[in-house]
Structure 1
Amino acid sequence: MNHAVKKYAAIGLVSLLGFSAPSYASTGAEPANQAQNLTPEQQLAYTAQNKNESVEKRADALRQLARYPNQNSLVAVARGLKESDPLLREAAVIGSELYQFEHRWRMISPLLNDENLTVRMTATTNLLREYSVMTAEQQQKMEAPYNEVVAYLSTQLEGQKNTASQLLLADVYRWHKEWIKADELYQPLTRSAAKNSQVWLNLSDNYRAQNQDAQALEVLNKGLVQLPKEASLYYSKALTQVRLNQKESAAQAIKVAATLAENNSYYWYLNGVLQEDIDVDLATESFEKAYMISGSPEQLYAVCDIYVRYNNEKADACLVELAKVAPEYVITQLKEKQK
């Protein structure tokens, strides 16, 4: 996607870090109609901050906000991270999952020293997955929390079969670039938990992180034997084949992924990207479907972009719609592509 649009999409998030946006916090009885006419994600943000709700219900709302990384969600998550109840702090960490690492580090790193073990572990695993892009100072700050998580999970595995703990410990080793230790835990899981798609996805990521894409593809193909209708495996396969310069095969794989996960807008968007050199009409339809599912400005941009570049009769109408949500310079850049 065009860097200008990526920059545009990030503008709001950067400004949010002052947490000056409108919120739905409630410290007492709120008007009966205050929660009416809210979108599902606004309702979740409202519930997450409503102190009249139970801690459990607020925590559930915070976790669900991970699906809706927007202004109201960010305010709710930021406040949740500062709540006195550890269940709410842990849930807020989970709710922050889709925000960019630089913002998550700023919000979550103070919880690496939280008094509650579960909160510390959740914060550690949330941030550790970005270990490879951390500064040396950030990596150093992660060492003590990392060792604590490894010790805890290792204890969980002593004398028992615990698939969840074994998979998480393998992931922790992978994030920390300890590839061999990770592989030693993943490999047995391909036999004992062969129907768990995360086993195959994460093992392939362990190879990808070492630039061993051929081995990663082999793992994904084995996973698809076990789970032939798992869209995420086809998606990961497509990305792996792109890295291996197998573009036509990648296009086939992402088409299957999008068809299986018919409401996943990103899969349809990526299908548009990979199909363009093969079938422009199919690519256009995929971008349109992605936008119809998500309604996001970024995917509307993708629709307008392909309309403009291939002189689609709907290009001008698309630009009019995009101008309602995008900066003027983005529209100008697209118009310059018109033939």
Structure 2
Amino acid sequence: MLNHDIRFWAWFVCQAQKQFSTTHFAFVTALASFGLGLSPPTSAQLLDAATAPIYVGSQACQQCHRTAYLAWQSSDHYQSMQVATGVNVLGNFDDQHLDYQQQRNRFYRKGKQYWVNLKDGNGEFRDFQVRYTFGHFPLQQYIVQFDDGRLQLIPFAWDARSKQQGGQRWFYLYPEVDPKDEFYWTNVGQNWNYNCADCHSTHVEKNYHSDTNQYASQWAEINVGCEACHGPASRHIQWTQQRNNIDTNATDVDYGFDRHLGKQVLSWQANAGQTTLQPTQVTATDQLNTCAQCHSRRMQLAPHSSSQRDFADSYQLSLLDAELYYADGQVYDENYVYGSFLQSKMAAKGVVCSNCHDPHSGKLQLSGNQVCLQCHQTQHYQANNHSFHQADSPGNLCVNCHMPTTTYMQIDARRDHAWHIPNPNRSAQSNSPNPCLNCHQNNNHQWAQSQISAWFSGDAKNVTADDSASKLADKPYYRAFLADNTSHPQAEKALAYVASQASYSAIVRASALQRLGRYQGKYATYAQQTNAYDSNDLVRRGVILAASHFSVNDKWQQISPYLTDSKLAVRYAAIESLVLDWQQMTPNQQQQLSLALPEYIESQHYNSDRAFALNNLANIYRAQGQLDTAIHYYDKAIKVEPFFDASYINLADVYRQRSESKKVYSTLIAGIEQSPDSAALRFSLALHYIREQQLLQSIKYLQQAVKLAPNEAYYHQVLQQVQRQQRGAP
């Protein structure tokens, strides 16, 4: 069962007293939990230093930390998820209707309960009770619960903006999806337990039971509470007692917590010839790692614990690939800030989130340009010598030029946190946002470039038509990424240059290495070897990705040392790259890999509510020749996520290994029925027909694959070859 409300700890905090009696604690626990959540700690557990730290709830913090607590109550974190009550529900459920595709959806109440009538996954209208709210501004979503423990976000959201802004209305979030789409509301793309829980609630235990395909998820706190960032607070309470009763001069900087969330730069100074302040005193902090847990596009590899303070011990960050970012690094799809921030000069200088944002309210520390002018010296960044816009105009706001917005979910505008310098020519080539045109909509890139060039006396030079490798790799790095996106003949050399230059940020170098995984030339090898011992885990992971197409022996030589890397994200990537070559390995290599495999397998089981993880498990057993076990996991993947095309393709390949032609065909046909827009499934079926010497059928499905994926060059090549063979041409 899920915990249906936050537990209240009225006297849990020591307050200002010198002592904290177990009698007080016993009274507190008697007042505790409203629901069936995680069990409250006992007094012995709380005060025992040997006991693992325990979550106690944000209510325990307010007595001593009143200001921070009130700020938190005004934050997006506080509203990240709440029980659907009259206090929290913003949407109009007074028997409201929304017509979509000539069908009526209803929002209504039953007493104090909130209900919706809408289509389920089978296309039938049903009534669902809204259990929880999800967010609050500029839109609020709503969650319903299924009998198998799944929490799903309904497809309709409430526009919480004012009527003047076009809000106070119901709208359909994903109008282009159908019941066979991953993001249809009853499918995995809108599942809270896997996609949302880890960031929208505190200390979530997913508790997915793979054998029954059910959840029994729990949380310590329904929303993002104090302990989501600070960690479990029981030892902090113990620390207060030691400080008050034993050591009045205690100087423990973390106050009993296991992480330090302070700023990284403790002091800044102005240096001659520089227009921004420079760091002078830098200290270690866990702040970025902590914020990045949620404010990033990433995959969770394992349940994070308080002992895993580094991001890469629990998560694998998405790099700057073409599906998420433009070639110049500006955000395209949702990346939730961290991947953009790592590209910035501010990240390199030691700026952290709390330099700009209040850590408890989430709001900016200062208004307007003042937050930027903390470090960017005012005399150098005036309207007349930097923005060249009137002081009170939108064009003079730093964020409008350096942090352009991208709108997601139709109305949610989010700012890019890489702080790129506007370059209209770069935007024109990369097809990326040009912030100048957000205001000057009747002009074009060329006009904007001429203005900038005139203001800054040529600092923003035009990009030449020179497409030599040196030019492609020259700063900014986008030329190399754009060359890769367009299959330019010099792309490999340009990417290798970017990957090998320490002046680029780690995420840029790692992303260049990732892209080099497509190439097998000497430049890819050089870049891989140059970065093999880099201190940054992103770059080391990039090295693994760059070697992904090496021969088996070369790959083992380059990647096997990372099987014992200090970071889980790197070890995970190494195992994933090597395990499919199991049959070609020596017994000694297999033994070494076997020692690393359990951790990787455990990660797949943790994510076994998704088809990709079940496919990874199946791939291991298939590589080891255990085909029955592989089939079991491919079948399970299809059951869990019937629209995931790779499961059908991989399962069909196993049947091909077994020479079971009929099962190859039936598996791929079933996949096409479930995933009708998959070009890969049609291509796989075409290959099956080629092996069966049925060329006309092969051509039919190759043509369909090409139509669905017109930019996939290999599909075109195979189609042309088969057509020539059908005509009898040499």
TM-score by length of 1: 0.64
The one of 244, 248, 258 equivalent to 2:696 is: 248
Q: How many residues align structurally? A: 248
> Who is 1:134 aligned against?
585
The one of 630, 639, 648 equivalent to 1:200 is: 648
Q: CA deviation at 1:76?
A: 1.1
Distance 2:656 2:636 in 1: 19
Distance 1:56 1:137 in 2: 34
Q: Secondary structure at the match of 2:726?
A: coil
Contact 1:125–1:172, Cα closer than 8 Å, also in 2: no
> Who is 1:107 aligned against?
558
The one of 546, 553, 563 equivalent to 1:95 is: 546
Give CA-to-partner distance per residue, 1:82-104, whole Å, 9 cap, x none.
Answer: 32222211122122223332322
AA at the equivalent of 1:121:
Y
1:120 aligns with 2:574: no
1:64 aligns with 2:515: yes
- The 3 A distance-change label for structure 1 pair 98 and 79 is same
Q: CA deviation at 1:46?
A: 1.9
Give CA-to-partner distance per residue, 1:51-82, whole Å, 9 cap, x none.
Answer: 11111121122112223333222211232333
Greater radius of gyration (CA): 2
Distance 1:214 1:136 in 2: 35
Contact 1:213–1:243, Cα closer than 8 Å, also in 2: no
> Who is 2:501 aligned against?
50
AA at the equivalent of 2:571:
R
1:153 aligns with 2:604: yes
AA at the equivalent of 2:523:
N
Aligned CA-pair RMSD? 2.7
4+ residue runs over 4 A deviation: 32-35
- The 3 A distance-change label for structure 1 pair 132 and 258 is farther
The within-5 A match list for 1:219-238 is 219-238=667-686
Distance 1:270 1:188 in 2: 32
AA at the equivalent of 2:533:
K
AA at the equivalent of 2:713:
S
Contact 1:231–1:257, Cα closer than 8 Å, also in 2: yes
Structure 1: gaps of 5 or more residues:
1-31, 284-305, 307-339
TM-score by length of 2: 0.32
Contact 2:604–2:613, Cα closer than 8 Å, also in 1: yes
Distance 1:139 1:209 in 2: 22
Contact 1:47–1:61, Cα closer than 8 Å, also in 2: yes
Q: CA deviation at 1:233?
A: 1.1
The one of 449, 458, 471 equivalent to 1:36 is: 471
Give CA-to-partner distance per residue, 1:197-222, whole Å, 9 cap, x none.
Answer: 21222222232333333312211111
- The 3 A distance-change label for structure 1 pair 214 and 64 is same
1:172 aligns with 2:620: yes
Distance 2:606 2:641 in 1: 20
Q: Secondary structure at the match of 1:98?
A: coil
> Who is 1:273 aligned against?
721
Greater Cα offset, 43-52 or 250-259 = 250-259
More helix, by proportion: 1
The one of 627, 630, 633 equivalent to 1:185 is: 633
Contact 1:45–1:73, Cα closer than 8 Å, also in 2: yes
> Who is 1:84 aligned against?
535
Contact 1:204–1:220, Cα closer than 8 Å, also in 2: yes
- The 3 A distance-change label for structure 1 pair 266 and 89 is same
Q: Secondary structure at the match of 2:725?
A: coil
Q: Secondary structure at the match of 1:36?
A: helix
Q: Secondary structure at the match of 1:195?
A: coil
Give CA-to-partner distance per residue, 1:221-260, whole Å, 9 cap, x none.
Answer: 1111122332211221122223333333223322332343
Contact 1:121–1:145, Cα closer than 8 Å, also in 2: no
Q: Secondary structure at the match of 1:278?
A: helix
> Who is 1:8 aligned against?
none
> Who is 1:211 aligned against?
659
Distance 1:79 1:213 in 2: 46
Q: Secondary structure at the match of 2:471?
A: coil
Distance 1:37 1:163 in 2: 39
Distance 2:575 2:606 in 1: 17
- The 3 A distance-change label for structure 1 pair 139 and 65 is same
Distance 1:109 1:240 in 2: 35
- The 3 A distance-change label for structure 1 pair 136 and 239 is farther
- The 3 A distance-change label for structure 1 pair 216 and 138 is farther
Structure 2: gaps of 5 or more residues:
1-460, 464-468, 474-479, 484-490
Give CA-to-partner distance per residue, 1:5-44, whole Å, 9 cap, x none.
Answer: xxxxxxxxxxxxxxxxxxxxxxxxxxx9995244622332
More strand, by proportion: 2
- The 3 A distance-change label for structure 1 pair 37 and 59 is closer
Contact 1:80–1:89, Cα closer than 8 Å, also in 2: yes
Contact 2:610–2:640, Cα closer than 8 Å, also in 1: no
Contact 2:610–2:641, Cα closer than 8 Å, also in 1: no
Q: Secondary structure at the match of 2:643?
A: coil
- The 3 A distance-change label for structure 1 pair 137 and 225 is same
Contact 2:611–2:644, Cα closer than 8 Å, also in 1: no
Distance 2:500 2:711 in 1: 29
